[in-house]
Copies of this chain bind each other. A is one copy, B any other.
Amino acid sequence: MNAAIRAVVRTAGFYEMSVMGVMRGFHGLIHDEFIELNPRSVADIIHRGGTILKSARSEEFTTPEGQAAAVANLRKADVDGLVVIGGDGSFRGGMRLQSAGINVIGVPATIDNDIPCTDYSIGFDTTVNTVIEAINKIRDTATSHERIYVVEVMGRHSGHIALYAGLAGGAETVLVPEVKADLDDLCRRIVGGYKLGKAHSIVVVAEGVGGNFKTGRSLDESSAFRIGNYVKEKTGFDTRVTVLGHIQRGGNPTAQDRIIASRMGAKAVEMLRDDRSGYMVGVVHNEICATPFEEAFRQGKSVDLEFHRLAHILASQ
């Protein structure tokens, strides 16, 4: 996200607009945690993971009082426009502020890549690369026969990370929340793979997959362990589990993430400058574009089933 913050601040500077940063998202809006940001403030941050403005959840902002306080603070600070960087929840918050008369532009940033009207959200490419580096390392020693590796990646409701990382990582099987998991078919595929001479089998599982067959309390069991136990019992093969967890949220951003962040951040400022608001920016077919919030919320974003099919073709032999 730092690349997007840098782009907003410096594009604004280029147009001689001044910028303030809001710490900790909507929490900071309500509690008046505004800081000055000038082109120097964003020096040497483009390569850092995380965000210099920090993030937080804000229960308060879901209340009318919270929203009113945020609007009041923005008015008091004489703010002409607000750039909201985040995911679905952030954009819903942004739309409420827009309704209350604040000019808002949204910039999509979520590793899950589940925001419609943009091919990529900031953070997604970095996360996918983190996952495939993990799979690389597993592959390095995956030479023993009859071993199964189950790798759990993020994605409670969407399988974008699992699908991209599974295809790029050469996983034998990818399980995503959008497609009902058939564990018996998985076991048959694994056994079939060994008969073809495969030395090992890598199964990438989105964390939300478990939802298809468990009524889970959060944390106390993971999809990967459940699936690993099932497969081990059915096939008798040695099964090892990796749960990547929050590793996937950090790391130095990739080139692609920085470039789309830079382009979208600059676009957000240019839109506010042109008196356009109530939009989220995005990148579609490699071009920067903008979509009204309402339209974005009407659409869903489904995983690319061509990728699912291709991953299957390339790994099933």
Chain A positions 198-231 with a Cβ under 8 Å from a chain B Cβ:
198-199, 219-222, 225, 228-229
A314-B225 CB under 8 A given contacts A239-B219, A242-B244, A255-B164: no
Q: Is the CB of A250 within 8 A of B137?
A: yes
Residue of B nearest to A164 (CB): B255
**By the criterion CB–CB under 8 Å, are A246 and B254 in contact?**
no
Interface residues on A, range: 35 or more
Name the contact of A245 in the complex, choosing from B136, B240, B307 (C-beta under 8 A): B240
Complex: chain B residue closest to A248, CB-CB: B137
Residue-wise, chain A 267-283 has the 8 Å CB interface mask toward B (1 for contact) of 00000000000000000
Which A residues between 17 and 74 are near B, CB-CB below 8 angstroms? 39-40, 43-44, 46-51, 54-57
* A186 contacts chain B at the CB level, 8 A cutoff: no
This chain: how many copies in the complex? 4
B49 and A141 form a contact (CB under 8 A): yes
Let me know if A170 and B47 touch, CB within 8 A. yes
Does A7 belong to the interface (CB within 8 Å)?
yes
| Chain A contacts with B in 145-201, Cβ cutoff 8 A | 145, 149, 164-165, 167-170, 196-199
| Bound form: Cα–Cα A249–B170 in Å | 19
Name the distance in Å between A48's Cβ and chain B's nearest Cβ. Answer: 7
Q: Does A133 contact B (CB under 8 A)?
A: yes
- Which stretch of A8-16, A82-90, A94-102 is in the interface? A8-16
Task: Decide if A256 touches B125 in the complex (CB within 8 Å).
Answer: yes
In the assembly, what is the distance between CA of A36 and CA of B261, in Å?
A: 35
Alpha-carbon distance between A286 and B56 when the two chains are bound, in angstroms: 34
B56:A255 contact, CB within 8 angstroms: no
| Contact status of A241 and B245, CB under 8 A, knowing A132-B258, A229-B219, A286-B119 | yes
Say if the beta carbon of A135 comes within 8 Å of chain B: yes
Closest 5 interchain pairs by CB?
A140-B250, A137-B250, A49-B140, A242-B245, A285-B285
Contact A263 B46, beta carbon cutoff 8 Å? no
Residues of B within 8 A of A199 (CB): 43-44
In the bound assembly, the distance between CA atoms of A90 and B10 in angstroms comes to: 38
Residue A313 at the chain B interface, CB threshold 8 Å: yes
A142 within 8 A of B: yes
A47 and B168 CA atoms in complex are apart in Å by: 9
Do residues B47 and A136 form an inter-chain contact, with CB atoms below 8 A? yes
Minimal Cβ-Cβ distance residue in B for A144 = B56
Q: Mark A117-137, 1 if CB is under 8 A from B, else 0.
A: 001000001001110111111
Q: Report the separation of the CA atoms of residues A11 and B258 in the bound assembly, to the nearest whole angstrom.
A: 33
Decide if A251 is an interface residue (CB 8 Å cutoff): yes
Contact of A138 among B46, B119, B137, B246 (CB under 8 A): B246
CA of A287 to CA of B198, assembled, Å: 31
Q: Which chain B residues border A308 with CB–CB below 8 Å?
A: none
Q: Is the beta-carbon distance between A247 and B47 smaller than 8 angstroms?
A: no
Asked if A317 and B39 make an inter-chain contact with CB atoms under 8 angstroms apart, the answer reads yes
